[in-house]
Amino acid sequence: MNILIVEDEAEIADLIQLYLSKEGFNCHICRDGNTALERFKEIQPDLMILDLMLPGLDGLEVCARIRQQRLIKDPYIMMLTAKGEEIDRIIGLSTGADDYMVKPFSPRELVARVRAVLRRSLRQGGQNPSNQYQTAHFTLDVDRRLAYRQVASNKSEAEGAHNTDTLELTPLEFDLLTTFMSYPGRVWNRTQLIEKLWGNDFFGDERVVDAHIARLRKKIEPDPAAPSFIKTVVGVGYRFEDVPAADRVS
Ligand code: CA
């Protein structure tokens, strides 16, 4: 796994590199936002560790520009932030980041999070022999990491014709939807979703789940305020509901 570390404080960057290299990850370091975008193109990393405050373009801008590129293989992006920096925005993950850590963090914690990303991307491969999940409204191609949605086409709604939209999901949103679609109807509490997506060694705030659910709903629900697919189960958590693909009206 290729990792790009974007951090202007040399000691922190070197420490991260030291710990991740020991785990066998292939690390590259750069120290400012513009260089990060150039190096990103060359290296095509699986994971970026991206400091928020950087010379030139800051971490939020770098993250936004990478997400705009609509890549086939989107990287996981973990933001680093000091306490007091735009932490609310990052927790809300309106930035397109998949995860965040607050400085000072322990390098072991960082390693645990990176391992969780790796486990998650390996595990996603093995759940279903065809590596496709399909319901009446959604199709996930897990190997190619593509998600599609069926929408009734305006012109020929009367004839029941449908268009297929490609959904623009971040890696974490894709994994979340895969988790839901792999067990339709199952009720997940936040702890179970965290275990599934981050692993048991997650440190931090369970609200991160709600933030990701809110973002995913915005992308897949016709009316995110009254979700028809990702239902809230009051006092418990969330459940994905859709009609089986066989019953799709077409
Ligand atoms: Ca910095």
Burial (Cβ within 10 Å: 0-12, 13-18, ≥19) of residue 142: buried
Helix-helix angle 171-182:207-220, to 10 degrees:
90
Residue 167 confidence (pLDDT): 93
Residue 128 confidence (pLDDT): 46
Closest CA to 20 of 6, 8, 3: 3
CA 172 – ligand 1 centroid, Å: 24
CA 80 – ligand 1 centroid, Å: 8
CA 105 – ligand 1 centroid, Å: 14
CA 207 – ligand 1 centroid, Å: 25
> CB–CB of 6/36 below 8 Å?
yes
Q: Is residue 126 part of a domain?
A: no
**How many angstroms separate the CA atoms of 191 and 193, rounded?**
5
Q: Is residue 148 part of a domain?
A: yes
CA 9 – ligand 1 centroid, Å: 6
Closest CA to 174 of 141, 135, 209: 141
CA 88 – ligand 1 centroid, Å: 17
Q: Is the dihedral of CA 5, 69, 75, 238 positive or negative?
A: positive
CA 54 – ligand 1 centroid, Å: 5
Q: Is residue 29 part of a domain?
A: yes
Counting as low any pLDDT under 50, the low residues of the chain are 125-128, 157, 250
CA 77 – ligand 1 centroid, Å: 16
CA 145 – ligand 1 centroid, Å: 32
Q: Is residue 125 part of a domain?
A: no
Residue-wise pLDDT tens digits, 84-108: 777 666 665 666 788 888 888 888 8
Number of domains into which the chain is organized = 2
Q: Is residue 123 part of a domain?
A: no
**How many angstroms separate the CA atoms of 95 and 87, rounded?**
11
pTM of the entire predicted model: 0.60
CA 52 – ligand 1 centroid, Å: 6
- Domain stop point among 85, 118, 151: 118
Residue-wise pLDDT tens digits, 50-77: 999 999 999 989 998 998 886 666 788 8
Residue 105 and residue 137 share a domain: no
CATH assignment at residue 233:
1.10.10.10
Residue 109 and residue 163 share a domain: no
Residue 112 and residue 29 share a domain: yes
CA atoms in the 13 A half-sphere facing the CB of 96: 19
At 165 the three-state DSSP class reads: strand
CA 26 – ligand 1 centroid, Å: 22
CA 7 – ligand 1 centroid, Å: 6
CATH assignment at residue 105:
3.40.50.2300
CA 51 – ligand 1 centroid, Å: 6
In total, the chain counts a number of residues equal to 250
Residue 158 and residue 103 share a domain: no
CA 32 – ligand 1 centroid, Å: 9
CA 48 – ligand 1 centroid, Å: 15
The distance of Cα 61 from the centroid of its chain, to the nearest Å, equals: 17
The distance of Cα 189 from the centroid of its chain, to the nearest Å, equals: 18
CA 55 – ligand 1 centroid, Å: 8
Residue 186 and residue 112 share a domain: no
> CB–CB of 161/153 below 8 Å?
yes
> CB–CB of 42/87 below 8 Å?
no
CA 232 – ligand 1 centroid, Å: 38
CA 83 – ligand 1 centroid, Å: 12
* Domain carrying residue 14: 2-118
Residue 104 and residue 159 share a domain: no
